[in-house]
Amino acid sequence: MAEPSTGAGTGAEGRIDRLAGLDLEALTRWLDAHHPGRRRGPLEASLITGGFSNLTYRVSDGTSRWALRRPPLAHTLPTAHDMAREHRIISALYPAGFPVPEPVAMCEDVEVLGAPFYLMSFVDGVVLDRPDVLARLGEQDATRSCDLLVDTLLQLHALDPAAVGLGDLGRPDGFLERQLRRWTTQWNSSQTQPRPAMHELVDRLGATLPQQSTPGIAHGDYRLTNVIFALDDAGGVERIAAVVDWEMATIGDPLTDVGLLVVYQELSNSAGFVMPLLAPEAGFATPAELVDRYAAGTSRDLGALSWYIGFGWFKLAVIAEGIHRRHLMGKTVGPGFDRVGASVPKLLDSGLAATATDTATATATATATATDEP
């Protein structure tokens, strides 16, 4: 996983330095009571950098290493940050052979850390989210990382949810309409100021809802910086060791993953919000190249992909506004949160641009239909 920062641990006299969101004394008591023998020494922990939503920490007892996931410190939205759901998903995917961390333990008792949390195995590897890591990556490895990213997404979308025990995770019927309504509600709970562009984008998306793709498992936040790559002996990209951050996964329309992946890749080509610079000149795929590779490996109709891309911009704007709100409340942990608010208008403008063609087509169709009526 990503290199950690901002550590905490047990001092020479048994004192535990505090780490925001993680009380090691409480975690120690819980482990010893509910999983005796799991802990073999004093716990130490560090915040893993790179997250803008749920908090992830590296925890070690000197022998074993785990990753601990818990919700943000404040302003948690309805249906978001569900730790039990996230734990259930990786518990189903791990034995199915899909690359996720091995689940270790789940705690739903909010009295322990102030919120539900779970432990999973700490996966060794690299996340392509820091300049020093990217600087060591050759052009061939950059290209391979994007190929593996798409191929793993195809693998996920090809899984039968019922066969891996996730058949009741979501309700596919009416998924897109329900998602649009849910994310609009979350915007209303998060907004820090009026933004007319958001209302226009929601209206456009609602007026041009496409026919849904065949239901499948949708990750909900799939991108290059949400996977951990295993390296070969020469330091090159070998495979994806784990896909992480399953907090928004559900059973629904998998093309929402493809649309959001295009958005993230477009942002990465110019080092935008949440994404480092992953330039095509360095070997990384363009959004169009990602779409072409996905299209070659699926029978899904991508004719309405522009809607899914617009929805991806919309969804990311809602997430960014929620993060900005938490930052204004002083409830974020880690660097970079002060820049998130400025990205929201740009994300909305991109969503409007992506949906402009769909809106024009829908308007022309409606006009033609009205003209043909007797």
pLDDT of 11 reads 38
> How does pLDDT run across 228-251, given as a tens digit for each residue?
999 999 999 999 999 999 988 999
Using alpha carbons, list the distances in angstroms from residue 210 to 206, 263, 306, 358.
Answer: 9, 18, 10, 10
Sorting pLDDT into bands at 50, 70 and 90, what band is 272?
A: low
Sorting pLDDT into bands at 50, 70 and 90, what band is 5?
A: very low
Which of the pair, 172 or 72, is modelled with greater confidence? 172
Kindly give, in sequence order, each residue whose CB lies less than 8 Å from that of residue 132, ignoring residues fewer than 6 positions away.
none
Which of the pair, 14 or 307, is modelled with greater confidence? 307
Fold of 4-121: Phosphorylase Kinase; domain 1 (3.30.200)
- 337 pLDDT more than 90: no
Q: Which of 32, 293, 46 is nearest to 153 (CA)?
A: 293
Spatial distance between the Cα atoms of 348 and 55, rounded to a whole number of angstroms: 26
Fold of 131-372: Aminoglycoside 3'-phosphotransferase; Chain: A, domain 2 (3.90.1200)
- 270 pLDDT more than 90: no
Using alpha carbons, list the distances in angstroms from residue 167 to 92, 98, 160, 285.
Answer: 11, 16, 8, 33
Lowest mean pLDDT among 91-100, 309-318, 331-340: 331-340
φ, ψ at 59 (rounded to 5°): -125, 135
Sorting pLDDT into bands at 50, 70 and 90, what band is 12?
A: very low
pLDDT of 90 reads 97
Spatial distance between the Cα atoms of 175 and 172, rounded to a whole number of angstroms: 5
pLDDT of 290 reads 98
pLDDT of 18 reads 63
Q: Stretch 273-302: mean pLDDT, rounded?
A: 95
- C-beta atoms surrounding 136 within 10 Å: 11
Q: Stretch 271-276: mean pLDDT, rounded?
A: 78
Sorting pLDDT into bands at 50, 70 and 90, what band is 273?
A: confident
> How does pLDDT run across 106-158, given as a tens digit for each residue?
999 999 999 999 999 999 999 998 889 999 999 999 999 999 999 999 999 99
- 81 pLDDT more than 80: no
pLDDT of 363 reads 45
Sorting pLDDT into bands at 50, 70 and 90, what band is 78?
A: very low
Spatial distance between the Cα atoms of 17 and 265, rounded to a whole number of angstroms: 39
Which of the pair, 15 or 33, is modelled with greater confidence? 33
Q: Stretch 254-264: mean pLDDT, rounded?
A: 97
pLDDT of 172 reads 94
pLDDT of 334 reads 66
- Where are the domains positioned within the chain? 4-121, 131-372
pLDDT of 20 reads 82
Token pair in block for residue 333: 């942990």
pLDDT of 49 reads 59
Q: Across the chain, what does the average pLDDT equal?
A: 88
Radius of gyration of the chain, Cα coordinates, nearest whole angstrom: 21
Q: What is the pTM of this model?
A: 0.87
Q: At what angle do helices 305-328 and 196-207 cross, to 10 degrees?
A: 150
- 51 pLDDT more than 60: no
Q: Stretch 36-45: mean pLDDT, rounded?
A: 94
Sorting pLDDT into bands at 50, 70 and 90, what band is 169?
A: very high
